[in-house]
Amino acid sequence: MALIVQKFGGSSVADAASITRVAERIAETHRAGNEVVVVVSAMGDTTDELLDLAQAVSENPSGRELDMLLTSGERISMALLAMAIRNLGVEARSYTGSQAGMVTDEKHGSARIVEVSPNRVRAALDAGAVAIVAGFQGFNRGTGDITTLGRGGSDTTAVALAAALGADVCEIYTDVDGIFTADPRVVPSARKIDRVTSEEMLELAAAGAKVLYIRAVEYARRHGVTIHVRSSFSRNEGTLVVNPKEGETVEEPIITGIAADLSEDKITVVGVPDVPGTAARLFTIVANAGANIDMIVQNTSTSDTGVADISFTLPTSQAKSVLDALEARRADIGFESVQYDDQIGKIALVGAGMRTNTGVSAKFFTALSDAGINIEMISTSEIRISVVTRADIVNEAVRVIHHAFDLDGESEAVVYGGTGR
């Protein structure tokens, strides 16, 4: 008997018919003699619709109330799914995040899991039932309040439960057949990857491949959970995200895939005094404004002016508070001005084989240049090269690079559902 965690994303439970279809699959896994824990997201685009509603009544809603609102989405789908499974003659019980023992810190909107005590889930399994847990939510012991784990957080709930219960596998069911060499909505010729290391998947997720949420991949890596990403609309084998042990060799392609991200903006601080300690002061201001910055580029200062320009990228949602914080300290730091650019896109090429192969960057930049695409910023890790370009040519750039690195599959990738929102 195996213990299987199955997570179903919003597009897999978008309407009553989908919920029934998913219920049949879960009942089948249970009837085959497995213990089944299900994690479910809100139906379709419910979370986005609830966010729109919140914006319509308040420009700056409180984090506590926003979490209260958003967690209602998963509550609807978990109860409906439990009903649908029971309708098939299999006992099923649904649990909110707090009932399932998902304890988090108190950071509304992006809480971190600090403890998982799934006693009620374990008891439901012992009683022969399927346990259904609302994804994306937890609670904080200190405040007693409900929290959410950040967009896409149901993936993290699933992995955390799989780790806490010692599950054999954590299956993430979505609207495509697995992890592809690029987003199949952007590159229809993208190829499905059979196996990817968590190290490579972390880079892809960090670079915007929303098929798996970065914190879920991090958690799986730390706790040794094997993730299987697959479609709830087909029976095809998906992609295994594996954690190779120290010294174990896995066959690593030079390039694993390409990811793109349109959710970031660029800020340039112009005319920064080129003296020791300025960058430290600038980025302390940025950090205190609560921003997660990504790429940083400082131009070489020309000796006669004694000033430099520093550019960095950050999530759009954090730009305003950083701009305000910088402006407030302009005289004090002594820079000239701040420029803001909300029309950038980031593209990342990821592959563990880059470590041992030369010429990858040259090929990457040549492909972009042949297509007449200008590179505005560059950053690299051991297994990733990222560039910033204009936002409106990002999808075109991804297709060009995908082709240049011969990543195309034999057939067109299938997108079974979802709105891509």
Rounded to 5 degrees, what are φ and ψ at 266? -120, 135
In whole angstroms, the minimum distance from the beta carbon of 398 to ligand ADP comes to 10
Question: Would you count residue 13 as binding ligand ASP (CB under 6 A)?
Answer: no
Give the Cα separation of 229 and 238 in Å (integer): 5
Give the Cα separation of 322 and 309 in Å (integer): 17
Which of residues 5, 6, 9, 158 is near ligand ADP by CB under 6 A? 9
DSSP 111-168: --EEEE--HHHHHHHHTTPEEEEETTEEE-TTT--EEE--TTTHHHHHHHHHHHHT-S
In whole angstroms, the minimum distance from the beta carbon of 223 to ligand ASP comes to 19
Q: Residue 151's binding partner, choosing from ligand ADP, Mg ion, ligand ASP, none, with beta-carbon cut-off 5 to 8 A by kind?
A: ligand ASP
Question: Would you count residue 152 as binding ligand ASP (CB under 6 A)?
Answer: yes
3-state secondary structure of 63: helix
Q: CA gyration radius for the chain?
A: 23
Give the single-character DSSP code of 410.
Answer: S
Sign for the pseudo-dihedral over CA of 219, 176, 417, 167: negative
> What is the binding site for Mg ion (CB under 5 A)?
9, 152
| Cα–Cα nearest to 176, from 12, 395, 27 | 12
Question: Would you count residue 179 as binding ligand ADP (CB under 6 A)?
Answer: yes
Q: Residue 175's binding partner, choosing from Mg ion, ligand ADP, ligand ASP, none, with beta-carbon cut-off 5 to 8 A by kind?
A: ligand ADP
Query: Which window, 90-98, 149-157, 274-282, 338-346, contacts ligand ASP (CB under 6 A)?
Result: 149-157
- Asked whether 88 and 95 are in contact (CB, 8 A), the reply is no
- Asked whether 19 and 25 are in contact (CB, 8 A), the reply is no
Query: Is the CB of 138 or the CB of 152 nearer to ligand ADP?
Result: 152
Query: Is the CB of 9 or the CB of 417 nearer to ligand ASP?
Result: 9
In whole angstroms, the minimum distance from the beta carbon of 91 to ligand ADP comes to 26
The binding track of 38-57 with respect to ligand ADP, each residue x by CB under 6 A or -, is: ---x----------------
Query: Which window, 142-150, 204-212, 330-338, 381-389, contacts ligand ADP (CB under 6 A)?
Result: 204-212
- The H-or-E segment that residue 271 falls in is strand 264-273
- Asked whether 189 and 402 are in contact (CB, 8 A), the reply is yes
Question: Would you count residue 135 as binding ligand ASP (CB under 6 A)?
Answer: yes
Question: Would you count residue 41 as binding ligand ASP (CB under 6 A)?
Answer: yes
Query: Is the CB of 137 or the CB of 311 nearer to ligand ADP?
Result: 137
Q: What angle do CA 94, 13, 182 make, to 5 degrees?
A: 125
In whole angstroms, the minimum distance from the beta carbon of 9 to Mg ion comes to 5
Question: Would you count residue 209 as binding ligand ADP (CB under 6 A)?
Answer: yes
In whole angstroms, the minimum distance from the beta carbon of 67 to ligand ASP comes to 11
